[in-house]
Amino acid sequence: MSNQDELLVDPENIPRHIAVIMDGNGRWARTRGLPRLEGHRQGYVALKRLITAASGMDVKVLTAYAFSSENWKRPESEVTGLMQLITFAAKVELADMNKQGVKIVCSGRMEQLSEPLRKQLEKDIASTANNTGLVLNLAINYGGRQEIVDAARRAAQLVADGQLTTDQIDEKLFASLMYHPEFSDPDIIIRTAGEQRLSNFLTWETVYTEIFVTNTLWPDVDKDTLVDAILAYQSRTRKFGGLIEKGETR
């Protein structure tokens, strides 16, 4: 990408909510003869770059798939290393997130995380709660199907408590029971390392989300990748199941 590409971005059509599936850390490390955890460490650096770039381009919400509910199946040493890395990052980056005005929230079954990580994330959430810049939504111990199950359980409990009838359960009501119903659905998902699947990510919210696949491995992602994704988004026509009216180009 060149500086000219960035000039092509329409500032009036920036995606409000961008989600990222951060894939390729292991491959990045393997091609360099490094441990997988070094790939994850460089992936953390890449996320820092993307947060700064997204903030500068007036993206409102960035959802990062940091650790899926399926990632527990990985070798214990890798899982432990990832948990330690997330805890470290959540602690050392807090001051910079506040400096940038980033508001941190989390999605996932937080109660299943270790106490040190859970407490650090709770501290980050509380410390940044009044920030008005980019919202960084960290999906940790997150699964799209699990989110839907959790919403269904909440709906069932409301019915059991007499606060809701089954006839009142519709898409709007169900959407209000998701982890963060205050966010608009993602406009675009960036999937790195050439993979072309959603991997149980934001299953409910992505029914009309655009998908941008790049062969770039996650640790190599930078502002150029973000600009490429935004340009791809701006080149597409979003119909949401409808038709384009005669004379319209988008």
- The predicted-structure confidence for 81-129, as pLDDT tens digits, reads as follows 999 999 999 999 999 999 999 999 999 999 999 999 999 999 999 999 9
- Confidence at residue 131, expressed as pLDDT on a 0 to 100 scale: 98
Has 23 been annotated as catalytic? yes
Q: Do β-strands 188-191 and 135-142 pair in parallel, antiparallel, or remain unpaired?
A: unpaired
Query: Mind listing the pLDDT tens digit for each residue in 176-235?
Result: 999 999 999 999 999 999 999 999 999 999 999 999 999 999 999 999 999 999 999 999
Note the pTM of the prediction, 2 decimals.
0.93
With bands split at pLDDT 50, 70 and 90, how would you rate the model's confidence at 244? low
- Confidence at residue 49, expressed as pLDDT on a 0 to 100 scale: 98
At 173, the amino acid letter reads L
At 78, the amino acid letter reads E
At residue 7, does pLDDT exceed 60?
A: yes
Backbone phi, psi, residue 162, to 5°: 80, 10
Cα–Cα–Cα angle for 204, 209, 212, nearest 5°? 130
At residue 62, does pLDDT exceed 50?
A: yes
Query: Mind listing the pLDDT tens digit for each residue in 225-238?
Result: 999 999 999 999 88
| Mean pLDDT for the chain overall | 95
Over range 68-78, report the average pLDDT: 96
What percent of the chain clears pLDDT 90, i.e. is strictly above it?
A: 92
- What lies within 8 Å, CB to CB, of 151 at 6+ separation is 174, 177, 178, 204
Backbone phi, psi, residue 212, to 5°: -115, 115
**The dihedral of CA 209, 214, 217, 221: what is its sign?**
negative
Q: Which of 18, 49, 105, 102 is nearest to 221 (CA)?
A: 49
**Environment class of 162 (CB within 10 Å of its CB; exposed 0-12, middle 13-18, buried 19+):** exposed
Has 71 been annotated as catalytic? yes
> Distance (Å, rounded) from C-alpha 77 to C-alpha 79?
6
Q: Answer for the pair 42, 22: CB distance below 8 angstroms, yes or no.
A: no
At residue 163, does pLDDT exceed 70?
A: yes
Bridge partners of 137, per DSSP, are: 63, 105
At residue 1, does pLDDT exceed 50?
A: no
CATH of domain 14-143+186-234: 3.40.1180.10
E-strand spans in the chain?
17-21, 61-68, 103-107, 135-142, 188-191, 210-213
Among the options 71, 98, 131, 200, which is catalytic?
71
- Confidence at residue 237, expressed as pLDDT on a 0 to 100 scale: 86
Among the options 5, 23, 96, 224, which is catalytic?
23
At residue 46, does pLDDT exceed 70?
A: yes
At residue 245, does pLDDT exceed 60?
A: no
Helix 36-56 / helix 223-234 crossing angle, nearest 10 deg: 60
With bands split at pLDDT 50, 70 and 90, how would you rate the model's confidence at 161? very high
Backbone phi, psi, residue 66, to 5°: -85, -35
> Distance (Å, rounded) from C-alpha 50 to C-alpha 151?
30
Over range 62-70, report the average pLDDT: 97
At residue 248, does pLDDT exceed 60?
A: no
Q: Where are the domains of the chain?
A: 14-143+186-234
Helix 36-56 / helix 76-92 crossing angle, nearest 10 deg: 30
Six token digits for residue 148: 């839907």
Over range 150-168, report the average pLDDT: 97
At residue 250, does pLDDT exceed 60?
A: no
